[in-house]
Amino acid sequence: MRAGPDEEWAQVDISHPPKTEAFRTEVKEFLAEALPPDRPGIGALDEEAAWAFARDWPRRLAERRYLSLAWPEEYGGRGLSKLHQVVLMEELALAGVPFGLPQDTFGVKMLANTLLRWGTEEQKRRFLPRILSGEDTWRQGYSEPDAGSDLASLKTRAALDGEEWVIDGQKVWTSGAHHSDWIFVLARTNREAAGHRGISFLLVPLDQPGVDVRPFRMMSGQLHFNEVFFDGARTRAELVVGGVDNGWTVAQSLLGVERGEEAATNPILFRAEVERLVELARRYGKDRDPVVRQRIAWCWSKVEIMRYLGYRTLTGWLKGADPGPESSIAKLYWSEYHTEVTDLAMDIMGLHSQVPAGRSCGPTAPTTPAPPTPPRPGRRPT
């Protein structure tokens, strides 16, 4: 992905240089060897086989240093470029397999890259190897009941007590916290500062007195989101990333890492969704329905728009630009798109769409859902 000769990042060249294409060949060869024959993607496996695959997959990626592809070599990486990282993500998305596993995303993809930019040398040496090995799993403590889209209005606070921060407050929609070891938390550390100022980015252990993790049971019956309550929870004074009261800048940097990589890969996943919709319409005999066909065409057009918006965002990210409003626009765009796609799938399936996943119904073969995150030893029961 290279910018035009005038160096304006908004001008997009969607070709890739030879070095990254050679790396793409390497990744394709690895996937051809690593994936189950004739059954691409973890979603195509039955539950037992999916569990076996899931337990082994991060190890295989780590052996090739794919989990730390763009990290400096002194921290266990390969020292390759951001574009190599994007190529890897593209090929994993096309193959239907994750980058590590969903439960590793917050540690490997988000926090590790944030520590590489903002962390102290002690923080990097302590946490990066444990993130790669899977010894520590992480979650994100951003949103609060009254601070969702307006995150700067957060009320969780942290006060320094000797050599520890004491944290009080609540986070919500915390994905997978009930199976995790650590959480990175945005907390107000300066009560005199308003808005985006006075917020710090803290690393907090979850398994301690003063932390109460309460899972939500979703309509699907699965446990995924959580409320996390802090009542006198503690973490070491040195476990603040990027400096005290500088958490907003650090948090935005983390989101830039997330959205920069996803800019190229999300449209691949969305295109696969549209293809599944077409197959779903065929199985239910609605592929000739003019209204259904028109709605599928609408979905396809939106995916193409997102693809080129992603290229634009990605070009700036590869040139070192901080994420601007285009990354937030992309997030808003695909969230609204997903509402329409889900509505269409339910309209195609009719009442069959209300049957829990994994139970046979209608003319379609049941889809095996991704297995839930296994509980880690010593974690609280759910």
**pLDDT digits over 211-226, tens only?**
999 999 887 777 889 9
pLDDT, position 205: 98
CATH of region 138-245:
2.40.110.10
pLDDT, position 376: 39
Q: Which amino acid is at 292?
A: V
> What residues are paired with 211 via a beta bridge?
230
Report yes or no: 85 and 69 within 8 Å, Cβ to Cβ.
yes
CA gap 78, 72 in Å, rounded: 6
For tokens 């993130």, what's the residue? Answer: 131
For tokens 């009442």, what's the residue? Answer: 351
CA gap 255, 114 in Å, rounded: 9
pLDDT, position 268: 81
**CATH match of 2-133 with 1.10.1200.10:** no
Q: What phi and psi, each to the nearest 5 degrees, are found at residue 209?
A: -60, 145
> What phi-psi label fits residue 119: left (phi over 0), alpha (psi between -120 and 50 degrees) or beta?
beta
Q: Which two tokens stand for residue 370?
A: 């991704």
pLDDT, position 38: 63
- Point out the residues that are catalytic: 258
Low-confidence ranges of the chain (pLDDT < 70): 1-14, 37-48, 50-51, 54, 100-104, 260-261, 322-325, 356-382
Task: Give the domain ranges of the chain.
Answer: 2-133, 138-245, 250-354
Q: Which CATH architecture has domain 250-354?
A: Up-down Bundle (1.20)
User: DSSP assignment, residue 179?
Assistant: G
- 14-25 in b/e form (b: 16+ CB < 10 A) is eebeeebeebbe
Q: What is the pTM of this model?
A: 0.79
pLDDT, position 352: 87
Element (H, E) at 140: strand 138-141
**What one-character-per-residue DSSP string does 268-321 give?**
HHHHHHHHHHHHHHHHTT-TT-HHHHHHHHHHHHHHHHHHHHHHHHHHHHHTTP
pLDDT, position 323: 62
Q: Do the domains 138-245 and 2-133 match in fold?
A: no
Report yes or no: 299 and 341 within 8 Å, Cβ to Cβ.
yes
User: DSSP assignment, residue 323?
Assistant: P
